[in-house]
């Protein structure tokens, strides 16, 4: 696989399919695992990191589930390509920053990605479109089972899986769901929802990952506690919480349609109109307008556009993607122009 | 003629043709005349107003230039229709307000309109597209000559034509030109220009007439002094001033293109995009966006749209026009919806 193939393609988690795909963009489960007899990456020497990477590569090669995956040494690819992997939610910012002894195992459809030597030796991630934590968990769990035949994972009978940071110890699992909640934001109910989320020991982050602000009305909800509960219980708890939030968003959408339809239609059609016609546009404005267009598709107000295309645009309008498409480095104002042109092309296929 | 025909038609002065039609929307000359032996309208009784009206009607009927004109008694038409005549710049707000003994003589192409018993007994107006004060003056002057064969106009060898308000005494003439000056506004040179206009004893008003603020970057420039100069001198002075302003606007447009083309293209295309997609829009926002679209046509940035259609929209989006098109009274928020739908229909003829 090369990164050019990646950007001409829509990741599995962006396909806009699956249960509640109007409100639930995607489901993700990751497991943190470490090799028992090796120091955690932040304590390991270069040589040890290389050994761990080789051990991981050998194990990956033996497993049917990962047979079609590519094993990418991050030192072998350039800065833009690393950034593209980050922008596609396939690895963390940190994993791209210092790439010594680091790798990424990546499936063609981008459903599976395994960071090697990030904070833990292995961070296995599976992402799917829609609300589908059960299948997502089943797949990552299967990968974990297979890998554990060839790798000796650090595990304590008392603590569970051992991890570099104690917040991940136990199951080493984090389940998260990317929610699109424009109606809860418009009706000003979102803070009440997020307060409840935090009280229940879940966290909320923005679309663009840890430390990012909510933008485009996206909220990524995940479990904070990975210890003292089984994986299945954690998944069940997240599912229960998400179903409640989905219900509330659905109610808020219906209320908006009943009480404010003309205002809503105007906002949505204008957003679509601006995206189709702008020649300079910031990523912040793009995300806000795309959010309204996505809502318009969900509500049947926009009928000539596919949710998948909009989902994909949220990814494609980021800096590294724009530079990859253009084939060269772009400064901020060049990116605003390129972003506008990419959006126009996608939204008006027959040209302007 | 009925008013329905009027709104399905573009007035002569909106056709977007003639000299400097990119910057000069239209040229207008009006003459104020009064019957010598009659009191001014504000001093006349109902019976006298009726007599004046009849006298005017009889004279109009004898003149070739006015043969195809309609003589409309304002008491015979309803409030919306009167308002439509105001919105089309064919008569004043005041003329529509108290219609006792008042009439309007109107040519089919809306080039000629004569208010009977407004402030003066006769206010003859001719409007043409582009910078064309000479022809405009020639036509109104011809009408004046013909009418004076049948009507005894009040005239003093010392003061010239006598009028109800002394500011019009002398030639009774006002020449005015509607200028579209978006580049002078954007480059913040407009105040300097308007200051010079006032120093030269000209006045500037907005698109929507006396007492209206400049909106949509339109400025209507007219002579303030009607005495002590011949008609030809006044026209020549206006022409000289307008040519200077047109030059400055042209230079400002070129400077914007050279220095800020991407910003300008973005603003223009967005304006067009919003107009094509909004479902609720105020008249203020419409006028601002149409102004940028008009500039886009002038600069060749928008190529699929005719200036005439945009000129016509400035008129068509006003309250009485919207209500006439809809066939019933509309409140402000209904008008915002109707306005948006009229604009969408005009700008995207093949539907949405």
Give A268-312 pLDDT, tens digit per residue.
Answer: 999 999 999 999 999 999 999 999 999 999 999 999 999 999 999
C-alpha triplet A66, A69, A73: angle, nearest 5°: 120
Average pLDDT over residues B47-52: 97
Query: Inter-chain contact B278–A277, Cβ cutoff 8 Å?
Result: no
Round to whole Å and give the CA distance between A175 and A241.
12
Compute chain B's Rg from CA coordinates.
Answer: 21
Round to whole Å and give the CA distance between A345 and A276.
8
B151 in a structural domain = yes
- B110: closest CA among B315, B342, B322, B343? B315
Pairing of strands A122-129, A112-116: antiparallel
- Across the interface, of A269, A273, A337, the residue whose CB is closest to B262 is A337
What is the rounded average pLDDT for all residues in chain B?
94
Q: How far is A348 from chain B (nearest CA, A)?
A: 12
Tokens of B109: 């192409």
Q: How far is A270 from chain B (nearest CA, A)?
A: 5
User: Number of Cβ pairs closer than 8 Å across A and B?
Assistant: 52
CA-to-CA separations, B71 to A343, B97, B112, B117, in angstroms, rounded: 55, 18, 12, 13
Cβ(B145)–Cβ(B153) below 8 Å = no
**DSSP run (H or E) holding B178:** strand B173-180
A50 in a structural domain = yes
Round to whole Å and give the CA distance between B153 and B21.
35
Round to whole Å and give the CA distance between A34 and B156.
107
Query: So what's the pLDDT on residue A303?
Result: 95
pLDDT band per the 50, 70, 90 thresholds, residue B161: very high
Q: How many CA atoms lie within 13 A of A50 on its CB side?
A: 4
Round to whole Å and give the CA distance between B144 and B158.
20
* The pLDDT of residue A36 is above 60: yes
Query: Inter-chain contact A273–B269, Cβ cutoff 8 Å?
Result: no
Residues of A with CB under 8 A from a CB of B: 262-263, 265-266, 269-270, 272-274, 276-281, 333, 337, 340
DSSP annotation of A278 reads: -
B113 in a structural domain = yes
* The pLDDT of residue A352 is above 60: no
B225 in a structural domain = yes
Q: What ipTM is given for this predicted complex?
A: 0.89
- Residues in chain A with CB shorter than 8 Å from the CB of B330 are none
Tokens of A219: 């909220």
B182 in a structural domain = yes
**pLDDT per residue over A303-319, tens digit each?**
999 999 999 999 999 99
pLDDT > 90 in chain B, percent: 88
B266 in a structural domain = no
Round to whole Å and give the CA distance between A210 and A89.
11
Q: How many CA atoms lie within 13 A of A267 on its CB side?
A: 19
Query: Inter-chain contact A277–B269, Cβ cutoff 8 Å?
Result: yes
Round to whole Å and give the CA distance between A240 and A138.
18
* The pLDDT of residue A209 is above 70: no
With the C-alpha atoms ordered B189, B191, B194, B200, is the resulting torsion angle positive or negative?
A: negative
A77 in a structural domain = yes
Query: So what's the pLDDT on residue B205?
Result: 84
Q: What is the number of structural domains in chain B?
A: 1
* The pLDDT of residue A71 is above 90: yes
* The pLDDT of residue A49 is above 90: yes
> pTM of the prediction?
0.92
Query: So what's the pLDDT on residue A4?
Result: 76
What is the rounded average pLDDT for all residues in chain A?
94
Query: So what's the pLDDT on residue A259?
Result: 96
**pLDDT per residue over B249-271, tens digit each?**
999 999 999 999 999 999 999 99
- Which range of residues forms the domain containing residue B147? 3-249
Query: Inter-chain contact B272–A277, Cβ cutoff 8 Å?
Result: yes
* The pLDDT of residue A155 is above 70: yes
Query: Inter-chain contact B277–A269, Cβ cutoff 8 Å?
Result: yes
Average pLDDT over residues B281-306: 96
Chain B residue closest to A269 (CA)? B277
pLDDT band per the 50, 70, 90 thresholds, residue B352: very low
**DSSP run (H or E) holding B223:** strand B218-223
Pairing of strands B103-106, A155-156: unpaired
The CATH number for B205's domain is: 3.30.590.10
């Amino acid at each position: 696989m090369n990164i050019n193939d990646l950007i001409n393609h829509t990741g599995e988690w962006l396909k806009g399919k699956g249960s509640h795909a109007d409100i639930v963009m995607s489901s993700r489960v990751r497991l943190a695992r470490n090799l028992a007899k090796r120091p955690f990456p932040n304590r390991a020497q270069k040589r040890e990191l290389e050994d761990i990477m080789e051990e991981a590569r050998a194990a990956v090669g033996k497993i049917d589930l990962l047979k079609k995956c590519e094993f990418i040494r991050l030192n072998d690819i350039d800065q833009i390509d690393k950034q593209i992997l980050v922008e596609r939610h396939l690895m963390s910012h940190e994993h791209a920053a210092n790439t010594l002894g680091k790798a990424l195992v990546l499936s063609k459809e981008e459903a599976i990605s395994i960071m090697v030597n990030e904070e833990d030796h292995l961070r296995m991630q599976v992402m799917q479109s829609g609300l589908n934590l059960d299948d997502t968990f089943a797949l990552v769990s299967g990968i974990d089972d297979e890998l554990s035949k060839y790798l000796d994972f650090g595990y304590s009978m008392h603590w569970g899986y051992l991890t570099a940071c104690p917040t991940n110890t136990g199951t080493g699992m984090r389940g998260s769901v990317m929610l699109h909640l424009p109606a809860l934001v418009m009706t000003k109910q979102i803070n009440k929802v997020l307060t409840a989320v935090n009280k229940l020991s879940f966290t909320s982050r923005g679309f663009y990952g840890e430390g990012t602000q909510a933008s485009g009305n996206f909220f990524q909800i995940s479990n904070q506690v990975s210890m003292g509960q089984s994986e299945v219980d954690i998944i069940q708890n997240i599912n229960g919480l998400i179903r409640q939030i989905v219900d509330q968003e659905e109610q808020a959408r219906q209320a908006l349609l009943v009480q404010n339809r003309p205002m809503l239609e105007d906002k949505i059609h204008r957003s679509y109109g601006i995206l189709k016609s702008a020649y300079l546009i910031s990523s912040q404005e793009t995300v806000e307008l795309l959010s309204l267009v996505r809502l318009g598709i969900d509500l049947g107000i926009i009928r000539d556009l596919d949710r998948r295309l909009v989902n994909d645009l949220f990814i494609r309008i980021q800096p590294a993607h724009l530079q990859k498409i253009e084939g060269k480095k772009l400064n901020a104002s060049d990116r605003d122009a390129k972003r506008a042109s990419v959006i126009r092309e996608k939204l008006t296929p027959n040209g302007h």
